[in-house]
Amino acid sequence: MTLAHASAPTDPAVLAAALEEVRSRVPLVQCLTNVVTTNLVANALLAVGGSPAMVAVPEEAGIFARIADGVLVNLGTAGAEQREAMVEAVAAARSAGTPWVLDPVAVGTLPVRTALAARLVTEEPAIIRGNASEIRALAGLSAGGRGADSIDSADDSHEAATTLARSTGAVVAVSGAVDLVTDGERVVRVATGSPLLTKVTGAGCALGGITAAFAAVVEDRLVAAVAATTVLTLAAERSARTAEHPGSFAVGLLDGLHALSPQDVRDQAKVR
């Protein structure tokens, strides 16, 4: 797909076309991700139209990164073996021109993952996505949040996200009540979603996988990140209409991702 760089990332028709492209091409997404949320990440990718592969073993990760259409690197539970696989996969993805997404979970507060994130961020990620505290810490502007939980709002990270995007060349997507996405010049806010997203472990991890799927098929990385965020948050809104509690909401989120149509994106997206 060639959604040109000049495509308007706030045009719902462009975002809908991105979803159509994911479902048409079924991108293969390698996920080196949080072991707590592997199942949700894989199922979210399947529901949205991608094909997940949880290949995170050293000596295999790099080989698979050259095969995959996109790669997710999530630092949520980065043990020694997985850290080795991440470095290997990122090097291979960069060499092969495979777009990869960095999710710097809990950086700033924890030294091992913070050092790893600092190393990986120099390896040309296509998109960096995280909460406001993680993005501020990765940009060197704060000490991080409370583990994986943010203590900042997305707007608090505006300066950090813009700085990080300009210094790395990556699009930076910040999750919050209103999500913020920037390529260092253009800034887009996505105003859909549900507070129940904060009550389900792995919603952000799932968004990382979905973002890698969109980056695999959409040339404009800002469009890819905005479209992925819009799709997940619209599915969350759909689920929240009938779910009273987090358990049913989590199941409904997968149903919502599967049921969401390009026309729903055209009609319901709230981007500015």
Q: Which whole number is the average pLDDT over 209-213?
A: 98
Q: What would the two tokens of residue 23 be?
A: 């479902």
The whole-angstrom separation of Cα 161 and Cα 236 is 24
Q: What would the two tokens of residue 26 be?
A: 């079924």
Number of structural domains, the chain?
1
Which domain CATH number covers 113? 3.40.1190.20
pLDDT at 2: 44
Q: Could you tell me which residues are beta bridge partners of residue 187?
A: 182
Please provide residue 31's backbone torsions phi and psi, each rounded to the nearest 5 degrees. -120, 115
Per-chain mean pLDDT for the chain: 93
pLDDT at 147: 47
pTM metric for this prediction: 0.93
Does residue 67 have a pLDDT over 90? yes
Q: What would the two tokens of residue 191 be?
A: 């105003």
Q: What would the two tokens of residue 52 be?
A: 């997940």
Q: What is the pLDDT of residues 118-137, one digit of tens each?
A: 999 999 999 999 999 999 99
Please report whether residue 223 resides in a domain.
yes
Please report whether residue 2 resides in a domain.
no
Do the beta carbons of residue 210 and residue 256 sit within 8 Å?
A: no
Q: What is the dihedral of CA 232, 41, 249, 109, to 10 degrees?
A: -90
pLDDT band at 5 (very low <50, low <70, confident <90, very high): very low
Helix count and strand count (H, E) for the chain: 11, 8
Q: What is the pLDDT of residues 150-177, one digit of tens each?
A: 445 556 789 999 999 999 999 999 999 9
pLDDT at 109: 82
Does residue 239 have a pLDDT over 90? yes
Please report whether residue 6 resides in a domain.
no
The answer to whether 129 is annotated as binding is yes
Q: Which whole number is the average pLDDT over 33-38?
A: 94
The whole-angstrom separation of Cα 144 and Cα 141 is 9
Do the beta carbons of residue 235 and residue 39 sit within 8 Å?
A: no
The answer to whether 1 is annotated as binding is no
The whole-angstrom separation of Cα 132 and Cα 153 is 6
The answer to whether 238 is annotated as binding is no
Domain that holds residue 245: 12-268
Judge residue 166's burial from the number of C-beta atoms within 10 Å of its C-beta, 0-12 exposed, 13-18 middle, 19 or more buried. Answer: middle
The answer to whether 208 is annotated as binding is no
